[in-house]
Amino acid sequence: MAARHIPREGETRIPSGCAIAGIMDRSGARHDGTDILKSIALMHDRSNGLGGGFAAYGIYPDYADLYAFHIMYESREARAATEAYLEHYYLCEKQERVPTEDHPAIKNPPDIWRYFMAPHPMRLAASGLDEAEYTMRHVFHINGAVDGAFVASSGKNMGVFKGVGYPEDIGEFYRIADYDAWAWTAHGRFPTNTPGWWGGAHPFTLLNWSIVHNGEISSYDANRRYVEQFGYDCELQTDTEVITYLFDLLARRHGLSQEMAAHIMAAPSWRAIDAMAPENAAFETALRTVYASALVNGPFSIILGSEEGLLALNDRLKLRALMAAEKGPVVYLASEQAAIQVVCPDAENVRSIEGGVPFVVQLDAVARRKQEEAAENRAVRDWPLEHEVGVQPRRRREA
């Protein structure tokens, strides 16, 4: 009888095979893409060549106040239609092809352009929207209505570089070592339920948000239906995009902190809530009731990028690995500890991210501003009533 063949690694479906990484300097100092490229390349075996990408923050200081659209085109007609549309709604200061380099492993890339733009003031005023909402709606229009055009990123002073290929090859194709950023994230994809295509590679973005994700979102249908009620279009053939839209909905539109948005998405179980003190249980019950459809189920680890910094989150049961470490003002995140040590052998405070607990890394300037705002809010709350304009001091009661 022939010996039974035992499948080796790589011969079976490995749904946890994605790789994610992040590097951020809290001081705001910018670093080129060399280290993030090394970090994600070390996890080559967690990918399969069907998707890789990078998000970078702080790379366009000369255009920091303008929206930087990175757009992929599959045809000249798509580019012509998109540029005519943008010319109607935006004032463009500069447009150019994104610099790329021929790479033997990258096949049939789209035509990739970037545009530095401000909303047309008259069109913006007539819309009755703020800049962010105005821009979000035009991004969704291009992605949904212009055949052969896809907006890969649309934030300010940030950009996304992604495509079909191993992440180290994608990084070389886009020449990311030529960019300087205060925060980088990266992704290597092992598709589980969705096809690999240039627009479907990670990171997924909207405005200044970017998400890289390892795992599967089993609650995708409920989450998708929820965000679509608020005007978000989920057309990118992947479960990950819905996480980006949830953060935008909860943090930008509903005004919650990023930490609270993450807490809602990885909320405590009902059993855990039942064991809490009554006042805490009441709060958590209200959150789960109001935002029931924003709860994200399934095994996942994510890294969120924004103008504030990075936020890492695991599902409550921590079914996907995610490590963190520090060295001075620089914070490192990766699916594997080795991916941190390859770029920082003497990293300190190496630990695993807790399940369901957001790990927040903010720019020092952002942290200081929030501390000052909190102090001002406390001062206003504690200010005696008689100091308010128009309120007479209270008289003491006679003995």
Catalytic entry in 18, 92, 234, 344: 18
DSSP string, 246-304: HHIIIIIIS---HHHHHHHHTPPPHHHHHTS-HHHHHHHHHHHHHTGGG---SSEEEEE
Q: How far apart are the first and last CA of the chain?
A: 105
**Tokens 């599902």 sit at which residue?**
315
- Tokens standing for 296? 């994200």
**HEC secondary structure over 44-55:** HHHCCCCCEEEE
DSSP SS3 for 28: coil
DSSP SS3 for 132: helix
Instruction: Give me the residues paired with residue 304 across strands.
Output: 211, 311
Question: Known catalytic residue: 234?
Answer: no
Backbone angles phi, psi at 149, to 5 degrees: -125, 140
The residues annotated with a catalytic role in the active site are 18
